[in-house]
Amino acid sequence: MLLDILVATLRRPKNFELTFFKKKNMILNDTLKYLELAYYIFAIIGFFSFVWAFFTLVVYRKQLYHSTIARCIDIYRRDFTDIEIQSSLSNCNKYIDFVNEELFYMQHGFIPDDISREWLYGIILDCPLFVNGVNQNPSNVSKLIDENKLLDTYPRLVHAFTLNGKHDFAIIYNPEIKEITQAKRSLVKEILKNIKRYKSN
């Protein structure tokens, strides 16, 4: 038997080793091709997964914007459309609690900045605005809130309405000027910046 194996080995074709290595290289090349194909397939899957995740995030954010804005509008229409806020301290407390909720949404980006600015133009009509500790808003609601220190339990509002910039309040609160002036834009810009910078304890 050993003699037969020896004879068979001696009679092997001369190109046996060459054929063996060629087959080995072909198998290796095929494996690399499959791996490369798998890489591209996973890359495509990953790309479409990223696109889908981004699309889902955009849709979710729009839904969040819509639901938050709708909630605030509903509360305002329900609680403040037909009442005089300055008619009682209870109404003032309810109003500043509502404003605090709105500013919370602005702070955390639940309301787009353009809507935030639009709402702030209304908020500054009634809320106290402090420069060096002195309220600059002449409205009756603002005075009532300030005199009874209703903002003391709302640090977010105090932070938002404490101003460092120079603002022309004579123009901002001139009843004959109905349009949004540069003075109002500057004021609202600082307030929105304060809101964004506020950090809850």
pLDDT digits (tens, 9 = 90+) for 69-115: 899 889 888 888 766 777 788 889 999 999 999 999 999 999 999 99
Distance from C-alpha of 15 to C-alpha of 121, rounded to nearest angstrom: 90
Give the contacts of 58 (CB within 8 A, at least 6 positions apart).
Answer: none
Consecutive H or E run containing 130: strand 130-131
**Burial environment of residue 56 by CB neighbours within 10 A (0 to 12, 13 to 18, 19 or more):** exposed
Distance from C-alpha of 16 to C-alpha of 103, rounded to nearest angstrom: 82
Place of tokens 């120079």: 166
| pTM tops 0.75 | no
Tokens for 137, please give them: 């808003």
